[in-house]
């Protein structure tokens, strides 16, 4: 598989990856190493994993991290209820072997163990790793470097195939160096005008060129304004969908609709106040 395969494959799924991201994804697959993606919210970090899974036609296994996430929720746990029931049932029939109780059947697989047990390399998305505690990061180290998990009752389970691991982080806290060193790294920033236009056209081909350019122009200009929450790609797509749904063909001709649909782009009251009709007029005037 070559670099252009990656780019074309993702493009077929409607995901426009720039050269650096495509290279990082290519190496992540070729070297079998996890990929750490950082960047502001809404630039498509999570979306990469979904597009990868769709392209490779494989499972996407997602582990959403949160404070207090522990091994029993991320790796595995024994299904105690079933074990107890099995003991009761077998008592009635006359004794069950203990080995049976600690078999695959009674194991509740959580995302990480699931990812390792798959036949076809799945895409394992560890989302917002910086939200998890530092102890959990330490759990991850064994899994990410050797792709194996040790279960005391069963022994060490080695991955049959290496999953494609994508970690995302938002910068809630600094990640440890140990984790960073095991990962390839790529930073996703807000896309350039051309890239964003390509994204919009890939996602919503029904929006015509002139309107698409206007939308991208306004969103890009809006990102330069002093906002609390800068609109990301997801917001841009929402807004485009809203405009398309309202049948808008030209932003300059549809001032009311623009103002009404701004809720898709601006997510705080202060930002909403920061973009009164006059400001929007100015932005639209610039791109029209």
Our CB check for other proteins shows the closer of 114 and 130 to be: 130
Is residue 226 near other proteins by the rule CB under 8 A?
A: yes
Is residue 154 near other proteins by the rule CB under 8 A?
A: no
Task: Return the closest-CA partner of residue 24 out of 34, 14, 13.
Answer: 34
Residues 58-77 that bind other proteins (CB under 8 A): 68, 70
Our CB check for other proteins shows the closer of 17 and 207 to be: 17
Binding region for other proteins (CB under 8 A) out of 33-41, 57-65, 91-99, 112-120:
33-41
Element counts in the chain: helices (H) and strands (E): 15, 9
Q: Report d(CA 254, CA 76) in Å as an integer.
A: 54
Is residue 27 near other proteins by the rule CB under 8 A?
A: yes
Our CB check for other proteins shows the closer of 87 and 252 to be: 87
How many residues in the shown chain lie near other proteins by CB under 8 A? 33
Is residue 19 near other proteins by the rule CB under 8 A?
A: yes
Is residue 221 near other proteins by the rule CB under 8 A?
A: no
Is residue 187 near other proteins by the rule CB under 8 A?
A: yes
- Token digits for 167? 């970690």
**Given 64, 103, 148, 172, the residue binding other proteins (CB under 8 A):** 172
Is residue 171 near other proteins by the rule CB under 8 A?
A: yes
Which residues, including other chains, have CB under 8 Å from residue 110's CB and lie 6 or more apart?
Answer: 63, 72, 73, 74, 75, 76, 77
Is residue 279 near other proteins by the rule CB under 8 A?
A: no
Task: Return the closest-CA partner of residue 133 out of 176, 162, 170, 104.
Answer: 176
Residues 88-147 that bind other proteins (CB under 8 A): none
Strands 35-38 and 107-109: unpaired
Q: How far is the CB of 122 from other proteins (least distance, A)?
A: 21
The answer to whether residues 231 and 219 touch, using CB atoms and an 8 Å cutoff, is yes
Q: Report d(CA 265, CA 88) in Å as an integer.
A: 58
**Given 6, 9, 17, 38, the residue binding other proteins (CB under 8 A):** 38
Residue with tokens 């005008």: 193
Buried-state track 141-178, b at ≥16 Cβ within 10 A, e below 16: eebbeebebeeeeeeebebeebbbbbbbbeeeeebeee
Binding region for other proteins (CB under 8 A):
3, 19-20, 23-24, 26-28, 30-31, 33, 35, 38, 68, 70, 78, 80-81, 83-84, 87, 171-173, 177, 180-181, 184-187, 226, 228
């Amino acid at each position: 598989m070559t670099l252009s395969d990656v780019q074309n494959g993702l493009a077929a799924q409607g995901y426009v990856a720039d050269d650096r991201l495509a290279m990082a994804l290519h190496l992540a697959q070729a070297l079998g190493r996890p990929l750490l993606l950082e960047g502001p919210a809404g630039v498509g970090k999570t979306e990469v994993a979904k597009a990868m899974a769709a392209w490779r036609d494989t499972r996407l296994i997602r582990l959403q991290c949160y404070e207090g996430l522990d091994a029993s929720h991320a790796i595995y746990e024994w299904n105690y209820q079933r074990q107890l029931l099995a003991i009761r049932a077998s008592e009635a029939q006359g004794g069950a072997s203990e080995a049976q109780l600690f078999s695959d059947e009674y194991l509740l697989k959580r995302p990480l163990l699931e990812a390792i047990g798959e036949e076809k390399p799945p895409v394992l998305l560890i989302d917002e790793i910086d939200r998890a505690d530092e102890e959990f990061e330490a759990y991850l180290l064994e899994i990410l470097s050797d792709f194996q998990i040790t279960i005391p009752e069963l022994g060490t389970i080695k991955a049959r195939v290496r999953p494609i691991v994508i970690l995302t982080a938002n910068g809630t806290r600094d990640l440890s160096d140990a984790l960073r060193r095991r990962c390839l790294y790529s930073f996703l920033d807000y896309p350039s005008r051309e890239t964003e236009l390509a994204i919009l056209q890939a996602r919503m081909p029904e929006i015509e060129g002139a309107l698409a350019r206007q939308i991208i122009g306004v969103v890009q200009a809006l990102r330069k304004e002093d906002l609390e929450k800068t609109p990301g790609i997801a917001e841009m797509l929402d807004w485009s969908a809203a405009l398309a749904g309202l049948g808008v063909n030209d932003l300059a001709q549809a001032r009311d609709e623009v103002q009404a649909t701004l809720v898709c782009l601006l997510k705080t009251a202060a930002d909403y106040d920061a973009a009164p009709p006059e400001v929007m007029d100015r932005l639209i005037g610039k791109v029209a």
